[in-house]
């Protein structure tokens, strides 16, 4: 089961905006005179219920049942929703790349004439399914093919962003910025906006986790 990332992004962005608008309208109109507890319960109910509904909607709209077949000749991807089949033989493949960031995985194969075949999945929406086994099978079959075919032209494994030196530079800048932000917040007399602070810290930690996960490939590559 792969997911159309464009559709999923549109659903999430539109849904989050709608949830926040509905919650704000309720607080500023019908619940304007209500006590704090009622207003908090309303806000949490709208946000939690809306996010769950958004999760289900995104899963149903963007899901595309997909069958991937890898054999000694190449890779075939059948979109069981549209019936479209895309085939790329090992002799036509120039490069491939696998990315995994914040539960969003993508396997991309590029042919010698620039045509790209992509498989994308979100492990949060697919009951823990992952593309890792597909990538492992692809690399194994590709190695066997090149060995038996006497392939001279190497198939390039493209480095992901987190495997490149630029990712380390960005991480250093993020931690410097975070340190400055924390110093500014806790030395200021203004009230702390904990929600915004937690959001920034969470995003930095997500980036750091992805950077750390790619550390072995950076050293090896």
pLDDT value at residue 181: 85
Segments of the chain scoring below 50 in pLDDT: 2-3
pLDDT tens profile 73-109: 899 988 877 788 888 999 888 899 888 877 778 899 9
Answer yes or no: do 152 and 174 share one domain. Answer: no
Answer yes or no: do 45 and 118 share one domain. Answer: no
Answer yes or no: do 69 and 57 share one domain. Answer: no
pLDDT tens profile 135-146: 999 999 988 888
pLDDT value at residue 105: 83
Q: How many domains are contained in the chain?
A: 3
Query: With left for phi above 0 and alpha for psi between -120 and 50, is residue 128 left, alpha or beta?
Result: left
Answer yes or no: do 35 and 72 share one domain. Answer: no
Answer yes or no: do 19 and 53 share one domain. Answer: yes
Answer yes or no: do 191 and 142 share one domain. Answer: no
Answer yes or no: do 96 and 119 share one domain. Answer: yes
Contact present, 197 and 185 (Cβ < 8 Å): yes
* 152 burial via Cβ count (<10 Å: 0-12, 13-18, 19+): exposed
Answer yes or no: do 129 and 73 share one domain. Answer: yes
Answer yes or no: do 141 and 171 share one domain. Answer: no
Answer yes or no: do 72 and 105 share one domain. Answer: yes
Look at the block and give the residue holding tokens 């995985």: 105
Answer yes or no: do 137 and 216 share one domain. Answer: no
Mark which of 127, 158, 189 sits at the end of a domain. Answer: 158
Structural domain boundaries enclosing 216: 163-220
Mark which of 112, 141, 158 sits at the end of a domain. Answer: 158
Answer yes or no: do 101 and 39 share one domain. Answer: no
Mark which of 136, 158, 180 sits at the end of a domain. Answer: 158
pLDDT value at residue 35: 58
């Amino acid at each position: 089961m792969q997911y159309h990332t464009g559709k999923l992004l549109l659903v999430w962005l539109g849904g989050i905006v709608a949830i926040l608008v509905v919650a704000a309208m309720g607080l500023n109109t019908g619940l304007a005179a209500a006590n704090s507890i009622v207003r908090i319960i309303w806000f949490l109910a709208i946000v939690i219920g809306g996010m769950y509904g958004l999760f289900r909607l995104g899963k149903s709209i963007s899901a595309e049942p997909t069958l991937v077949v890898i054999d000694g000749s190449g890779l075939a991807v059948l979109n069981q929703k549209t019936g479209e089949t895309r085939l790329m033989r090992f002799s036509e493949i120039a490069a491939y790349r696998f990315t995994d960031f914040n539960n969003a995985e993508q396997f991309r194969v590029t042919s010698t004439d620039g045509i790209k075949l992509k498989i994308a999945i979100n492990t949060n929406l697919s009951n823990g399914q992952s593309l890792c086994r597909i990538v492992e099978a692809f690399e194994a079959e590709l190695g066997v093919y090149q060995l038996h075919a006497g392939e001279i032209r190497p198939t390039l494994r493209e480095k992901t962003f987190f495997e490149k030196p630029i990712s380390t530079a960005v991480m250093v800048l993020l931690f410097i910025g975070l340190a400055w932000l924390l110093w500014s917040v806790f030395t200021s007399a203004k009230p702390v906006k904990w929600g915004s602070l937690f959001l920034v810290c969470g995003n930095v930690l997500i980036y750091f986790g992805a950077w750390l996960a790619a550390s072995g490939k950076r050293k090896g590559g």
